[in-house]
């Protein structure tokens, strides 16, 4: 099964990075010379995806405006990328955001990419993920090792001790934001998934929801509990938490140094006394 579509939920309020999000959505925060959303789209396109579905909030015209800007760029026109939009009227969780985009996903696998994370590696991260999917032909979540004190902020996975496939481990359980000391491992799900349409059936069962939101992790856990196979792939590259201020700052430095136009000058600036320029006080 070929992977040709990606869901990109961007409706979040970005409360962790206020006041940066008082005048713009989190996905439009600038990293060097482009907004966060552009970096995620670049990841998606590098994986060979040609159809991207953005799930936005009801008062976020900035995303459509930016996509219109991209589509006018001659270099983007040659890529042949199709964009569609879905409005998430109420912020009912990441599971709800994925479920709302189901109309564009037929009986085919698809990527889910959240703008809270930016990934970088020598091999394009999502191309690597698609290649992993071709081996297992089953859903995969991307994970990263996190310190115990941060586990309560993530969906944490319990994996089988041995794997049938190199670099992949079968998931035995998923615990969403476990209490301190209750995480089943140190492996946290980060914002990249490669899923199959069966997940929509599990998401549908979570409606009507009684809590504040519908977590995607709950649907994944239900799928696993019924015998479905989901694998964890530990990302080997760099991950930046673009939902936090320090993560945004780190991403600015990393992508600034990598920038083809600004990188050399920026590197020299950082090498100057105090990293603040030679004429700093």
pLDDT of residue 274: 65
C-beta separation of 201 from 111 below 8 A? no
User: Region 101-110: what's the mean pLDDT?
Assistant: 94
Measured CA to CA, the distance from residue 56 to residue 64 in angstroms comes to 9
pLDDT at 280 over 60: no
Place of tokens 């079968």: 170
- Say whether pLDDT at 202 is over 70: yes
Q: Is the CB of residue 51 less than 8 Å from the CB of residue 84?
A: yes
So what's the pLDDT on residue 281?
Answer: 46
In contact, 212 and 126? CB cutoff 8 Å:
no
For 178-192, write each residue's pLDDT tens digit: 988 889 999 999 999
The pTM score is 0.93
Cα–Cα distance, 141 to 145 (Å, whole number): 13
Mean residue pLDDT of the chain comes to 92
| pLDDT digit string, tens, across residues 34-54 | 999 999 999 999 999 999 999
Contact residues for 146 (Cβ-Cβ < 8 A; gap 6+): 154, 186, 187, 188
CA–CA gap between residue 281 and residue 278 (Å, rounded): 9
CA dihedral 142, 145, 150, 154 (to 10 degrees): 20
141 touches 171 (CB < 8 A): yes
pLDDT at res. 273: 77
Q: What is the pLDDT of residue 26?
A: 94
Per-residue pLDDT tens digits for 47-94: 999 999 999 999 999 999 999 999 999 888 889 899 999 999 988 999
pLDDT on residue 276: 63
């Amino acid at each position: 099964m070929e992977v040709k579509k990606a869901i990109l939920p961007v409706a979040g309020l970005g409360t962790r990075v206020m006041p940066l999000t008082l005048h713009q959505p989190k996905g439009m925060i600038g990293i060097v010379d482009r907004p966060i959303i552009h970096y995620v789209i670049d990841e998606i396109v590098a994986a060979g995806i040609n159809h991207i579905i953005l799930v936005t909030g009801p008062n976020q015209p900035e995303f459509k405006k930016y996509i219109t800007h991209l589509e006018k760029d001659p270099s983007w026109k040659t890529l042949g990328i199709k964009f569609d939009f879905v409005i998430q009227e109420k912020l009912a969780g990441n599971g709800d955001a994925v479920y709302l985009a189901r109309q564009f996903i037929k009986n085919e696998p698809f990527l889910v990419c959240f703008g809270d994370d930016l990934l970088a590696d020598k091999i394009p991260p999502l191309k690597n993920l698609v290649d992993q999917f071709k081996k297992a032909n089953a859903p995969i979540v991307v994970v990263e090792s996190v310190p115990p004190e941060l586990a309560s902020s993530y969906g944490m996975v319990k994996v089988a001790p041995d794997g049938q496939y190199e670099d992949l481990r079968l998931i035995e359980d998923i615990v969403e934001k476990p209490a301190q000391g209750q995480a089943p491992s140190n492996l946290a799900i980060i914002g990249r998934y490669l899923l199959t349409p069966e997940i929509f059936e599990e998401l549908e069962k979570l409606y009507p929801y009684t809590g504040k939101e519908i977590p995607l992790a709950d649907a994944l856990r239900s799928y696993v509990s019924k015998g479905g196979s989901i694998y964890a792939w530990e990302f080997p590259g760099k991950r930046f938490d673009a939902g936090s201020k320090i993560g945004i700052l780190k991403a600015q430095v990393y992508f600034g140094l990598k920038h083809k136009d600004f990188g050399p000058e920026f590197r020299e600036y950082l090498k100057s006394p105090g990293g603040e320029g030679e004429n700093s006080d």
